Amino acid sequence: MFQLSYNFIFLSQAILFLNTQVKLSEQEIVSLLLQQDERGFNYLYDNYSAAIYGVVTRVVASKDYADEVIQDVFVKIWKNIAQFDAEKGRLYTWMINLARNTAIDYVRSKGFQNEQKNQSIPDFVNDSNQYSTTSNVDHIGLKDVLAQIKQDWRELIELAYFKGYTQQEIAERLDIPIGTIKTRTRNALIELKRLLKDYR
Amino acid sequence: MDIKEYIASGIIEAYVMGLASEEEVRILECVQKNNPEVRQAILEAQSTLEDFASQQAIAPPAELKSTIWAKISEESAEKPKSVTVPQQIHEEEEVTSIPLYPPQNTVSPNKTFNWFAVAASILLVASVAFNFYLSNNQKATQEKLASLITEQKNNTIAYQNLKSRWDMANDPTVKTVPLLGVEKHPDMKAMVYMEEKSKQVYLTLENMPVAPENQQYQLWAIVDGKPVSLGVYDQQAKEEMQKMAVINAAQAFAITLEKRGGSPTPTMENMYVMGKI
């Protein structure tokens, strides 16, 4: 068993060494990270940093803060990779949620809120021209999918997913019964899925 | 609980969006272990959010990569790489430390600990299963409560309707006029109540079929041989006793079936009941 996994790691490292553009499976990435191999970090960063930076930027709404938070996110992935449980979902999902939660915690921290009072931050998140959009999938020249979703659903995604509000808080904020939130979330996600099909 | 209903409730979307409560998360994670349909739905919802993240990707500044790697190297250097060493120390401590409850027999503390671990695992599994059972139970109770509340509401409405009839019938200043079925409809019956002072007319249908959807019963007062409309009866309303128009000197009342909203003149062949004062 040990011999087998050792061979497996050796093999994946050999492949990495030969070709850094190779596509690794999530399992291979995880085993590289567990081995604390720098190439695991390189692969992770090259393939996922843009997605993670996108999520973080949406939450903290400022480039300077996003630069700070994304550092924490990668350190956390590196340190906590042993806690990743493939039973509960894919690595990509795990990393997105880790990024989202780190960013939401950052926004809620006292230091951040004090700083917010002292300076005004331009609302650049919605200004898509300021950033080039890149990822493993090619989306050049395509518009922000959130802008295409109807307002009720967009608000819900913003509050739940990017602000980390509870159902109770959302019900109060949007002045809707708490019982309708789950159905609305479902509809929002179904619509999101439909819109994202065009981007594939 | 029907699994399709469970999936359609939006619980999975709430879960992947981080909206589900701790209780809901526990149940869902328990359900998905044994139910491939739920598991598939979770993976699909997660994959939508992965696509979303890919679509919303923003390239970070180029210099960040080396900054982050420096930070990681620094943190790794602070701590020893191997995590197995402290664990071993911990285990040794466990053996030499005095147990809170010294074992009565010769079983080593470590073995006792293992038994505790097994027992604790069994308890955990049982508790998760029990939680699931309780939450199912709770749903059944809530459904029952909801049906009882509906029943109670219906009873209250029925009581109110009976009471208003009773009050009218026992009020000496109210005149009751039974309207009986005409030749074609001998079984039909309605009641008109007239407040003598205000001349206000009320109507209840005692035995009349439900009117077709585009039609309504219309009450007429016969004044000096001419029909005067007192309004239409709303069979969809909860109140069986309905307030009609005011009429001063009527000799008789009649009900005809008219188009929804009523007609200016009665359709005589559709007259169902009538009664003289």
The verdict on B40 touching A (C-beta cutoff 8 Å) is no
Average pLDDT score, chain A: 79
Q: How far apart are CA B254 and CA A5, in angstroms?
A: 93
Q: Which two tokens stand for residue B269?
A: 């062949």
The yes-or-no verdict on residue A10 having pLDDT over 80 is no
For residue B122, count other CB atoms closer than 10 A to its CB.
10
Q: Which two tokens stand for residue B5?
A: 């209903």
Q: What is the per-residue pLDDT across A162-179, written as a single tens digit (0 to 9) for each? A: 999 999 999 999 999 988
**For range A130-144, the mean pLDDT:** 41
Average pLDDT per consecutive 10 residues, chain B (277 residues; last block may be shorter): 86 93 88 90 94 92 92 78 44 38 44 72 82 85 88 85 83 90 89 90 91 92 90 89 90 93 89 90
Contacts of B76 in chain A (CB under 8 A): 36, 78
The verdict on B60 touching A (C-beta cutoff 8 Å) is yes
- Residue count (chain B): 277
Write down the architecture of domain A142-200 according to CATH. Answer: Orthogonal Bundle (1.10)
Tell which residue, A111, A13, A11, A92, has the closest CA to residue A54. A92
pLDDT of residue A117: 63
pTM over 0.80: no
Contacts of B43 in chain A (CB under 8 A): 89-90
Q: How far apart are CA B117 and CA A128, in angstroms?
A: 54
CA distance A161 to chain B (A): 5
pLDDT of residue B117: 76
pLDDT band at A7, cuts 50/70/90? low
The yes-or-no verdict on residue A132 having pLDDT over 50 is no
pLDDT of residue A143: 56
Which tops the pLDDT comparison, A14 or A168?
A: A168
Is A49 in contact with B63 (CB distance < 8 Å)?
no
Q: How far apart are CA A75 and CA A53, in angstroms?
A: 14
Domain ranges of chain A: 2-136, 142-200
pLDDT of residue A114: 73
Question: Sign of the C-alpha dihedral, residues B119, B120, B126, B130?
Answer: positive
Topology classification of domain A2-136: Rna Polymerase Sigma Factor; Chain: A (1.10.1740)
Phi, psi of B175, rounded to the nearest 5 degrees: -100, 130
What is the complex's ipTM, to 2 decimals? Answer: 0.79
Asked if the B174-276 domain carries CATH number 2.30.110, the reply is no
Q: How far apart are CA B194 and CA B177, in angstroms?
A: 8
The yes-or-no verdict on residue A199 having pLDDT over 80 is no
Both ends of chain A: CA-CA distance in Å? 39
Q: What is the per-residue pLDDT across A29-77, written as a single tens digit (0 to 9) for each? A: 998 899 888 889 999 999 999 999 999 999 998 888 999 999 999 999 9
- Rounded to the nearest angstrom, the gap between the alpha carbon of residue B103 and the centroid of all alpha carbons in its chain is 55
Residue of A nearest to B68 (CA): A71
The yes-or-no verdict on residue A28 having pLDDT over 50 is yes
Tell which residue, B259, B269, B276, has the closest CA to residue B185. B269
The verdict on A53 touching B (C-beta cutoff 8 Å) is yes
Q: How far apart are CA A190 and CA B161, in angstroms?
A: 47
Q: How far apart are CA B191 and CA B194, in angstroms?
A: 10
Q: What is the per-residue pLDDT across A79-127, written as a single tens digit (0 to 9) for each? A: 999 999 888 889 999 999 999 999 999 999 867 777 766 654 444 444 4
Contacts of B8 in chain A (CB under 8 A): 186
pLDDT of residue A138: 36
Tell which residue, B45, B47, B58, has the closest CA to residue B19. B45
Helices (H) and strands (E) in chain A, counts: 9, 0
